[in-house]
Amino acid sequence: MDPTNTTLVELRDAIAQKRATATQVVRAYLDRIEKHNAHLHAFHEVYTDRALDCAKQVDDGSITGALAGVPIAIKDNLCTTWGRTTCSSRMLENFRAPYNATVVTRLEDAGAIIVGKTNLDEFAMGSSTEHSAFGATRNPWDTARVPGGSSGGSAAAVAADLCAGAFGSDTGGSIRQPAALCGVVGFKPTYGRVSRWGLVAFASSLDQIGPFGRTVEDIALLLQVIAGADPLDSTCADEPVSNYLNELSAPADNLRIGLPRQYLSDANDPAVNDAVDQAVDVYRSHGAQVVDVDLPHTEYGIPTYYIVAPAEASSNLARYDGMHYGHRAQHADDLVDLYSRSRAEGFGDEVKRRIMLGTYALSSGYYDAYYLHALKVRRLIKQDFDHAFERCDAILCPTTTGPAFAIGDKTDDPLAMYANDVYTVNGNLAGIPGVSLPAGQTTADDGTHRLPVAIQLYGPVFAEARLLQIAKLYQSVTDHHLGRPELET
């Protein structure tokens, strides 16, 4: 068995049944990282010695658990007591966290081996990883293109088989959109399903942590390890966590799939709309009833999100003052000058743009017109989904309007970059779970490379088990998730 050409669940079983040692597995992935990371720049830091040491402990039986020996990558906005937690920002370039994120603790308690931290847009603000202060990640399918973002490093790492699974955060699409552009599965759980303790905050009413994998089984296993109440995060819900992996064997019968016409625009790349059409056929041929659903406030998603998220970000990022931790300017005249210089030097342009947008929307005289208004529209968007789920079990739609775009294409046009999130932000505004699944390929406009396209499924809050069953049905009769990029070296 080639441990780097399998699924996470198969790998886990192979290690548990001693068909492979954790050391062999971890070494195989570390070798691949060594070979490909310089070109792809998926990882910021790789923990070679620590990972091999943990692998040894799995092999001698002192580390056990549901993920024993499985190499996992985490986005570099999740705190770990070892290594640095940079958020791809100069502000946190040398930051060493004093505690582990709950997700990290749960992964390690389950025996997972964290091989490294992955690149992201600075503070998770972006859709391409180009806003990283340490350079962009490249899409393994075509290295002239972006992997999506903000969790682009995690998506690229899974797509290039540099790890068996990975984690990201999704505030407006940052797991699902890069998963779509890199041809892997990405899952955003219900708001409150997973603890955010130790996730560096971007927009606290939207942020969720979730997994990347090759298959729905991989996602189910990763989700059940990290989900569930946490005394360290009061926003994490005390809802029961089921064994999502076992529940996948339940048949997805009596299925009603909702199709929102607002998501099937002619402006989408034709390959994206074809992928949705083909998914409709798949579900119909397995007995599902396909119904039209109406999400009339869809078009207000982007403007609403780009008020709410920057408003919350402007507040969350106020803590980076150069005093407590993070970058501190060398020469300042007084305290206010120190704050101002430290922030001017530490933050990149996109982060500054968000802070200014958010501060403006919250300021006296504009609060009612922008922020309060956005909250009201957010409620309407949520109600759209509530009504739709009275008529269906899952909503089927695209994840993105098209395949990966070229590096540099949108960096000078923030609005074009924001428009990437048109099919993902509403899921965060409504707090519902969503999953992106590989659903085919299209040829790049320059005709040189095949690029992945994806479908997205949304489900009602805390209906993760059912949503995964519905996603599994699609993967059990299609082979789009088996495609792998040919890597340049």
Give the residues lining the site for ligand GLN (CB under 6 A).
124-127, 150, 169-174, 202, 309, 421
**Comparison of 201 and 451: residue with beta carbon closer to ligand GLN:** 201
Would strands 43-46 and 113-118 be described as parallel, antiparallel, or unpaired?
A: antiparallel
- Residue closer to ligand GLN by CB (options 172, 258) is 172
Q: How near is the Cβ of 420 to ligand GLN at its closest, in Å?
A: 6
Q: Indicate the pairing of strand 165-170 with strand 71-75.
A: parallel
Among residues 88, 127, 154, 174, the one annotated as catalytic is: 174
Q: Is 75 a catalytic residue?
A: yes
Burial class (CB in 10 A: 0-12, 13-18, 19+), 287: exposed
Q: Closest approach of Cβ 449 to ligand GLN, in Å? A: 23
Q: Which is nearer to ligand GLN, 177 or 273 (CB)?
A: 177
Bridge pairing between strands 185-188 and 208-213: antiparallel
Helix (H, G, I), strand (E, B) or coil at 70: coil
Nearer to ligand GLN, 105 or 154 (CB): 154
CB distance 102 to 233 below 8 Å: yes
Nearer Cβ to ligand GLN, position 129 or 441? 129
At residue 47, the 3 state secondary structure works out as coil
Residue showing tokens 């899921």: 427
Secondary structure of residue 73 in the 3-state scheme: strand
Interatomic CA distance for residues 135 and 138, integer angstroms: 10
Determine whether 174 is an active site residue.
yes
- Please, which residue, 28 or 199, has the CB nearer to ligand GLN? 199
Pairing of strands 289-293, 256-260: parallel
The question of whether 150 is a catalytic residue gets the answer: yes
Q: How far apart are CA 230 and CA 295, in angstroms?
A: 33
Q: How far is the CB of 160 from ligand GLN (least distance, A)?
A: 21
The angle formed by the CA atoms of residues 301, 466 and 221, to the nearest 5 degrees, is 100
Catalytic residue among 88, 89, 127, 150: 150
Tell me the DSSP string of 360-404: HHHSTTTIIIIIIHHHHHHHHHHHHHHHHTTT-SEEEEESSSSSP
State the nearest-atom distance from the C-beta of 91 to ligand GLN, in Å: 17
* SS3 call for 489: coil
Rounded to whole angstroms, the Cα distance separating 346 from 318 reads 12
Closer to ligand GLN by CB, 150 or 475: give it: 150
Nearest distance in Å: CB 83, ligand GLN: 21
CB of 126 or CB of 213, closer to ligand GLN: 126
* Helix residue spans in 389-484 (DSSP H): 414-418, 425-430, 464-477
Q: Residue 472 half-sphere exposure, CB side, CA atoms within 13 Å?
A: 22
Burial category of 489 from C-beta neighbours within 10 Å (exposed 0-12, middle 13-18, buried 19 and up): exposed
Peptide bond into 242 cis (omega under 30): no
The answer to whether the beta carbons of residues 374 and 366 sit under 8 Å apart is no
Instruction: Tell the smallest beta-carbon distance from residue 45 to ligand GLN (Å).
Output: 20
Residue 65 φ then ψ, to 5°: 135, 175
Residue 109, number of CB atoms within 10 A of its CB:
14
User: Looking at the annotation, which residues are catalytic?
Assistant: 75, 150, 174
